[in-house]
Amino acid sequence: MATTKTQPTTEEVTARGIGLPISTKFSIEICREIRHKPLTRAEHILEDAISKTRAIPFKRFVFDLGHKSGMAAARYPIATSEHILRLVHLLKANAEHKGFNPEKLVISFAKANRGDRRYHNGRHRGTKMKNTHIELRAREQEVKK
């Protein structure tokens, strides 16, 4: 199967997290939630998930998942949200370094991929470590209210 890689353009800012020790399934759902959102809105979504005031709605990985108030299946992925929030802050710092206005940035690309499957050391070799690659890209657009 042939895959195409989309390269970041000069109008975009990129932040990557390689080999993060977080759940890939949670990362996919969070990336879906913050995609096409302004940078400040994405920060608020992740901070609310960390403080358990607003859950992240799950659309794909919903087997045996309970409902939360005001939405269907949802969770509070705290550790995953903390790692992705660090990437959002890194994206904001990269934008300021490149001369972009952080208030006008919109996340145009958010993707989570499964990383390499490493095993824990020790006697029991059956357990695998979580490993996820995340890429975020943002571009300057007029923010809709």
**27, 80 contact by CB (below 8 A):** yes
Indicate the SS3 state at residue 14. Answer: strand
Asked whether the predicted pLDDT for residue 127 surpasses 80, the reply is: no
- pTM score of the predicted model: 0.85
- Name 89's Cβ contacts closer than 8 Å, sequence gap at least 6: 43
- Name 102's Cβ contacts closer than 8 Å, sequence gap at least 6: 39, 92, 95, 96
Least confident of 10-19, 50-59, 98-107, 125-134: 125-134
- Name 26's Cβ contacts closer than 8 Å, sequence gap at least 6: 56, 75, 77, 80
Kindly state the tokens that stand for 5.
């890689």
pLDDT tens digits, 23-61: 999 999 999 999 999 999 999 999 999 999 999 999 888
Sign of CA dihedral 38, 44, 46, 52: negative
Asked whether the predicted pLDDT for residue 124 surpasses 90, the reply is: no
Domains in the chain: ranges and CATH? 23-140 (3.90.470.10)
